[in-house]
Structure 1
């Protein structure tokens, strides 16, 4: 027993010093990756407390460390909790991509409390069923009829589940931020069977009112902030009912595409100005531009952009060859995700095609 314990203590020493090879060697010798010290730290928890130990955290996960390990108390002190509490954006993304739970939203609450904006965006982007710029109406309703633009403000809206293990009925929250620079939301509204005042027809300038069932006096009136926002309003209403959207990525900065330009490592939350990007699922079908029943799967053969659903598809992804959308949308995808929205192959270049 003493010999095993000394192995585990040696493992912690290797973690602190960033000795990746030593960690791998001890793992081959049978060291327990889930052993906890007196403070309740596993090797992975310890690695998630410092940005310089990112490579160590990555190695431990590759070796099979439990990304959701936590001591008996406090219950939510998981690796994700500690990384979010310290604003370690890169480590947070690593944990989320490897199945870290966000139960009770404790990591998100920590990131908001300590105002780690990029960590808040990373967690919400990973778990949200809707995100995008919208217009929030305020002030007297009568004045809103005559001058709606003067009584509305642009806000960033996300809808997120309150648990990584969906209960029945599903529970979601509507969160409103004054801007993407803010880590702390201005409004948080529970969406338990929300009362939605939806219009019968989704016109671009139509608004949707959400009434809080717990507090009938608390309501929000929102409209799309982009032109031709019918689809965004539909996505928003569906998300309020718990229907997730195809993709949960934030908008990205439009960049000029050059053959030699590498993809951006991250998005700049202060530079985002355009409306939200919604990417179709791989292999999803899209109605033809004429509105007929014939669905297309060939990445834009209908002549309509599969992403914004408005512009013609005039951009081709190289080297996969899919005509997947308009140049504007594909440029944004190339600069952020660098993946074809049809086959998920890496995009080396986006080229404009001319239809005859």
Structure 2
């Protein structure tokens, strides 16, 4: 094994026994999304680096430190996608799907970030999510949140918590930003190096700090509710009202800001205390300015992304993963003529919807029976 090639650190193989839970989750999610009127979209995993620099933000950790970026033979700078929303917006604009139209789409696939691998955080990870365009009403925010709630119910998942917040309009957020800068400047000695860097670039991200001293400092930080314009306040109040009418419990987390610069107004996360430090299994919100930022007309939008690895881990902890499906029949042969009959019989049974494994190779009868037993087939 010393000379064998190993998988890249933080990029994991998905083995047959593991995929049963993944496939169950994918199939359940696709049913729920389709019930809400969302259609699947499939996107390339490589995009122009500029797409993510303009959407996520040049000064974010993702763009500055975490993207897999390279130049192709034409000299174009390209990146493996670190998230899917920007690519969905690019596709909507490129194919003219937003001309006076409401669009609802869902996606699934791998994302890539060069982070320090740890439990629940990988360099290749998978997300399944939705994006909806053309609706400015708070009802859309509640629709995408209720989709996740419905998915948890279908999966049998309990004990997950919904946290919500608002980031307001760009104008009210600028006022809030100034208030945060003044607050943190007065307590610079309590800020760690990362927070000091964020203070210069995006002080709202300090609210998301994991440093103990900064967490304590954030308990007394200004609250964005004090800086909301009237429209943003009414929007957030309606979100809370409709969630209550749907019976979806939530808590407001004033420090919830999300890690991407394009969010506005409503943001949310679903978390579980069974996953340790990486507790978020789903995050999303509204991003009304992103389409315009990427060259389109002003278009309201909202969506979410589910971290598949974390959700599969949670389903496994809660013993909600289905066992790998057993084959129906394992065919053993006692002679060359029986082998020929077995091949034909296997095809007849498969055509009838029966799953069949045929023994291949001239092994003894007892050896074949042992293989049949190990296969887990119901009959041999």
Q: Specify which structure has the higher proportion of helix.
A: 2
Same fold (TM over 0.5): no
TM-score normalized with structure 1 length: 0.20
Report which structure shows greater RCO (CA 8 Å, sep ≥6): 2
